[in-house]
Structure 1
Amino acid sequence: MQLTIKVNDIDNVAIVVEAAGLQAGTGLDDGTCLREPVPQGHKVALADIPEGGDIVRYGEIIGQALQPIARGAWINETMVRLPRAPALDELPLATRAAPAQAPLEGYTFEGYRNPDGSVGTKNVLAISTSVQCVAGITDHVVRRIKQELLPRYPNVDDVVALTHSYGCGVAINAPAAIVPIRTLQNLARNPNFGGEVMVIGLGCEKLQPGRLLPAPPQGQIIQVGEGREPILSLQDESLHGFADMVEGILAMARRHLEKLNRRRRETCPVSELVVGVQCGGSDAFSGVTANPAVGFAADLIVRAGGSVMFSEVTEVRDAIHLLTPRAADEAVGRALLREMQWYDDYLNQGQADRSANPSPGNKKGGLSNVVEKALGSIVKSGSSSIVDVLGPGERIRRKGLTFAATPASDFVCGTLQLASGMNLQVFTTGRGTPYGLAMAPVIKVATNSALAQRWHDLIDLDAGRIATGEASIEQVGWELFQLILEVASGRRQVAADALGLHNDLVLFNPAPVT
């Protein structure tokens, strides 16, 4: 087993593989002798680095030494100066073609076809809400539906409330308000909801419930009358008391459940998958085990004609110079730069900067700064050309690899990817998180085997075997690809769903609150 991992020949650091770390005096294969104990995942200097000298990992400069660092020393975050972010006006656009790879044919999954042409991996009744004021009663009704109605509809997987903190007390017409509004509009259109949109509103909110309904197909109208409206407002004067409100919502739910219960899985090509990839609780292994394996699987999905979206602007910004050359054309490249600049401006307005990332847990796992984190994060995108760029909450438009701009926050990113049309998510973690989404299955991939063993019933796939030499990136990538098909088909349940661990939706609202 390797004692350390060095990613690129020009790197002057390596990370420690051993779960217990390495002790002072340990000799490495290149002749380096450790001067002090170094924890798992942390960096050891492979050469003398002078004060101000470059610290290189992944073949890229991740910072400069704040003090002289001797060969064999432990390098932690307090010793590394954060370098400047790549200047956005100096980057090459669409200069690197994707590696030539043959189409991947013959792979399918069992999914739910929708009237709009999308395909779901779950069959879920979603109850959308227009304002936080109705969250309490909506949650109450969801509990009632699960207890009283769902057993009568065996082909429906679940019922979820799309509750949130938006809808009123906000600057509804501010330019940035488009982000939360289109997020809510597109959440209701997620493929796992089968096109059965129902909205609970209050009545006096700024975000009127009608704005959450998708536009009907050309030449069709949404049926109204005889209790068929897709909206119920609690302030409707025909409703007398709490019991009337609840019964009104239950009656709507029954109609939608009857339609959803008629759905059946059918064989669909991989081209109908929309897989979101994300990382959280990252460590120094993320960029050498789990994320490369995810990137390999992402390339397989793209080769099969499917869609993959990667996100997290703050964990892309410092590696953007490696992504703009992969844009399918200059327009896509400029769109990448637009989203980076938008987020730079957003952070500046909040008097924050990119040094707020990484988290204390990331640093404990060996990540010194956001540059090192970004270089390990972007490998989730694989090697395919980037065919499109989405603003926060926009719906996916093209098959292939898409950058969907989101903050790095796990919960906000997951919410925005759901709005963009994700029907399954792959989530890598090194420190561990019980994160899950009720609306779409989340496959959690451990970056190190110590976590996978300790959290044996919370992790779906152990990519730490790459670090120990038990498996290659390609082997784990193929395992993940096959697991994606099993989960998408309903033949395998992810750990978060088996345990009922699901996080709340969290909207990204950069607009003013009034």
Structure 2
Amino acid sequence: MQLIEHADSPRVIRLHERDNVVVIVNDQGVPAGTELPGALVTLEHVPQSHKVNLVDIPQGGEVIRYGQVIGYALQPIPRGTWVREDLLRMPTAPALDSLPMSDAVPEALPALEGFTFEGYRNADGTVGTRNILGITTTVQCVTGVLDHAVKRIRDELLPKYPHVDDVVALTHSYGCGVAITAADAYIPIRTVRNLARNPNLGGEALVISLGCEKLQAGQVMHEDDASVDLSEPWLYRLQDSSHGFTEMIEQIMELAEVRLKKLDARRRETVPASELILGMQCGGSDAFSGITANPALGYASDLLLRAGATVMFSEVTEVRDAIYLLTSRAETPAVAEALVREMDWYDRYLAKGEADRSANTTPGNKKGGLSNIVEKSLGSIVKSGNSAINAVVGPGERAQRKGLIFCATPASDFVCGTLQLAAGMNLHVFTTGRGTPYGLAMAPVVKVSTRTELARRWPDLIDIDAGRIATGRATIEELGWELFHYYLDVASGKQQTWAERHKLHNDIVLFNPAPVT
């Protein structure tokens, strides 16, 4: 990355020597007639994070950022123009039948020894970063009753068990009125099942059922599942109540207290950093996402992998246009083929809805300087760092190995976070340029801003300001190490993220591509 900066002067960033556009760094952008480095003069006002072309680009000519083509000029673009979405034709998506497969697998970096955090050991060998009572559901019908019970548990029971961090209702809209035997119904079903197995729930999750729904409790909890303790009563059906609402609440509270006593007896212990399972995600992305926050996450990802941890990146539509850069890095051809399989599945899923991956880019993304999904994808995959990709996990599936994992999810913040929790994530990091109060109840969320301006406006929502990279106050390497240490402190409970302090969290949102009846 080349930062072109002079004191009190317009500042731009050029990411790759092939790039024929630069990105404006100044908070307020630059006005028309501004002289940029290299005797480049802007022909119009250009907002912060938007692009200016370094050379005249003819009609049909390539626009290059990240060293890759992000679009073709729909008309001649004179040097110094604000390069916007309406001036570009988006490239077609890379064909999936001719990708490079495991032809540039990175060498393993030297191991990092001696890094630890304080976590909660679980019976199945996993480690939690928090000690939470989870109460899951089989159908949306029980949500109102469970919400009432959870409020009573928090007010009346939790104060008696100070070593339990929280009680969380794993409510969702699935379970009835759905085609339970449809081809893709396995995705929401295994998601609900694996959410209850998340390491932060300590194997003590309960199930609240109505009784008549299509998704039955036996599909959520399996008798032979070592991840959940079924030695104590773990299920309550509301339709079994003989005395109405009051009895329902009392029964749920009684079951909860048995679990709270067991969770309260647990204590943190020193565990290697290899027990961390980090999920990474973007939301409210802008053109700085791929310049500051995501590269810092990528550097920290490589550090965690060197320490033996598990790191997940996701969002199919936000890697689809850069998939050729990922299949090259796949550890084996089988991993590369799994990446292709997930891309193909999602292409067909979008086609059924008469959409394609271009539907991903939001008005906020475009206002933040991202012209199209190709440019967004190239900035998104930077989170994955420079290590080999070791495995692919399907939507709702649980990760079975350590290393760098592509967790195939939609790009929707809420759905992606839910699926990463189902995959086993015990810590989450979320980068944002436009800003969002996003949070999760089941895992701490570290919020990283791409721009310092956002961190200044939202000082009690942003945990780490990666905008310092764009202004030369920190390097990617320095921010990567800062994130690495911050992850371990948050995992240990030594630090609370702003989302935790405010108890901000989004609802669990299942991915259900199957029909609703």
Distance of 1:357 and 1:193 partners within structure 2 = 33
Tell me how far 1:216 sits from its aligned partner: 2.7
- Aligned: 1:162 with 2:159: no
Distance 1:268 1:221, change over 3 A: closer
Q: Secondary structure at the match of 1:200?
A: strand
User: Could you tell me whether the CA contact under 8 Å between 1:358 and 1:369 is conserved in 2?
Assistant: yes
User: Could you tell me whether the CA contact under 8 Å between 2:108 and 2:387 is conserved in 1?
Assistant: no
Distance of 2:48 and 2:403 partners within structure 1 = 36
Distance of 1:413 and 1:215 partners within structure 2 = 28
Tell me how far 1:353 sits from its aligned partner: 1.1
1:353-368 to structure 2, matched below 5 A, reads 353-368=356-371
Distance 1:221 1:481, change over 3 A: closer
Distance of 2:284 and 2:86 partners within structure 1 = 20
Q: Secondary structure at the match of 1:309?
A: strand
Select 1:308's aligned residue among 307, 311, 335. 311
Distance of 2:464 and 2:229 partners within structure 1 = 46
| Number of positions where the alignment pairs a residue of Structure 1 with one of Structure 2 | 508
User: Could you tell me whether the CA contact under 8 Å between 1:49 and 1:65 is conserved in 2?
Assistant: yes
Q: Which amino acid aligns with 1:402?
A: I
Distance of 1:280 and 1:143 partners within structure 2 = 30
- Aligned: 1:449 with 2:455: no
Distance of 1:143 and 1:67 partners within structure 2 = 60
- Greater mean alpha carbon deviation, residues 24-33 or residues 322-331: 24-33
Q: Secondary structure at the match of 1:176?
A: coil
- Aligned: 1:177 with 2:189: no
Select 1:113's aligned residue among 97, 101, 121. 121
- Aligned: 1:471 with 2:474: yes
- Aligned: 1:67 with 2:75: yes
Select 2:424's aligned residue among 421, 444, 456. 421
Gaps of 5+ in 1: none
Tell me how far 1:221 sits from its aligned partner: 9.2
Gaps of 5+ in 2: none
Distance of 2:377 and 2:222 partners within structure 1 = 36
- TM-score of the aligned structures, taking structure 2 as reference length: 0.97
Select 2:443's aligned residue among 434, 440, 443. 440
- Aligned: 1:265 with 2:268: yes
- Aligned: 1:27 with 2:25: no
Tell me how far 1:354 sits from its aligned partner: 1.4
Distance of 1:139 and 1:264 partners within structure 2 = 28
- Aligned: 1:489 with 2:481: no
Select 2:379's aligned residue among 365, 376, 379. 376
User: Could you tell me whether the CA contact under 8 Å between 1:315 and 1:370 is conserved in 2?
Assistant: yes
Tell me how far 1:100 sits from its aligned partner: 4.2
- Greater mean alpha carbon deviation, residues 398-407 or residues 20-29: 20-29
Q: Deviations over 1:28-62 (max 9, x none)?
A: 22221111110000000111011111100000000
- Greater mean alpha carbon deviation, residues 357-366 or residues 29-38: 29-38
- Greater mean alpha carbon deviation, residues 27-36 or residues 154-163: 27-36
Residue in 1 that maps onto 2:233: 229
User: Could you tell me whether the CA contact under 8 Å between 2:53 and 2:82 is conserved in 1?
Assistant: yes
- Aligned: 1:332 with 2:332: no
Identity %: 64
- TM-score of the aligned structures, taking structure 1 as reference length: 0.98
Tell me how far 1:64 sits from its aligned partner: 0.6
- Greater mean alpha carbon deviation, residues 92-101 or residues 13-22: 92-101
Tell me how far 1:215 sits from its aligned partner: 4.1
Distance 1:244 1:334, change over 3 A: same
Distance of 2:456 and 2:147 partners within structure 1 = 35
Residue in 1 that maps onto 2:146: 138
Residue in 1 that maps onto 2:280: 277
User: Could you tell me whether the CA contact under 8 Å between 2:278 and 2:427 is conserved in 1?
Assistant: yes
CA-based RMSD of the aligned residues comes to 1.1
Tell me how far 1:27 sits from its aligned partner: 1.5
Q: Which amino acid aligns with 1:455?
A: W
Distance 1:397 1:320, change over 3 A: same
Distance of 1:298 and 1:420 partners within structure 2 = 17
Residue in 1 that maps onto 2:130: 122
User: Could you tell me whether the CA contact under 8 Å between 1:189 and 1:214 is conserved in 2?
Assistant: no
Tell me how far 1:356 sits from its aligned partner: 0.9
- Greater mean alpha carbon deviation, residues 272-281 or residues 239-248: 239-248
Which runs of structure 1 show a deviation greater than 6 angstroms over 4 or more consecutive aligned residues? none
User: Could you tell me whether the CA contact under 8 Å between 1:309 and 1:401 is conserved in 2?
Assistant: yes
Tell me how far 1:213 sits from its aligned partner: 0.7
Q: Which amino acid aligns with 1:491?
A: K
Residue in 2 that maps onto 1:323: 326
